[in-house]
Amino acid sequence: QAQLVQSGAEVATPGASVRVSCKAPPETFTNYGLSWVRQAPGQGLEWLGWISGDNGNTNYAQKFRGRLTLTRDTSTTTVYMELTGLTSDDTALYFCARGSPYGTRYYFDVWGQGTLVIVSS
């Protein structure tokens, strides 16, 4: 059973950055890559972007371009999400999930447990 394990909750001040990690099984990391999805309080699900574990290619939702950076560590099959210029609107539960904006595996069938990011002064 594929399992995605995320890092713990983060508290950040407005204007700062946050980095969240997601460790994936090697097969998921290499064959699917990982997306990031968030849910702000009282809001719906929102896709942020995707990274290929195989070659590091990325695809960012237009809304987050310039503020979002996805990277990966192939030695530990871990992907990282860094979001800069935080505002209170970025307070949300952030999920990594198996699914890609390319090809037929666009749906998210495996999810991390979620990481709460709170932006507060």
Partner 1 sequence: ETVLTQSPATLSLSPGERATLSCRASQSVGRFLAWYQHKPGQTPRLLIYDASNRASGIPARFSGSGSGTVFTLTIRSLEPEDFGIYYCQQRSNWPPSITFGQGTRLEI
* Kind of pairing between the strands at 115-119 and 10-12: parallel
Which C-beta is closer to partner 1: that of 27 or that of 73?
Answer: 27
**Please, what is the minimum distance in Å from the beta carbon of residue 61 to partner 1?**
6
**Please, what is the minimum distance in Å from the beta carbon of residue 63 to partner 1?**
9
What residue has token string 């980095």? 19
Binding to partner 1, residues 9-48 (CB under 8 A)? 35, 37, 39, 44-47
Mark the segment that binds partner 1 (CB under 8 A) among 26-34, 70-78, 83-91, 103-111: 103-111
Binds partner 1 by CB under 8 A, chosen from 24, 90, 95, 117: 95
- DSSP per-residue string spanning 9-30: -EEE-TT--EEEEEE--HHHHH
Residue 107 binding partner 1, by CB under 8 A? yes
- C-beta of residue 115 within 8 angstroms of C-beta of residue 8: yes
Identify the bridge partners of residue 48 per DSSP, sorted by sequence position: none
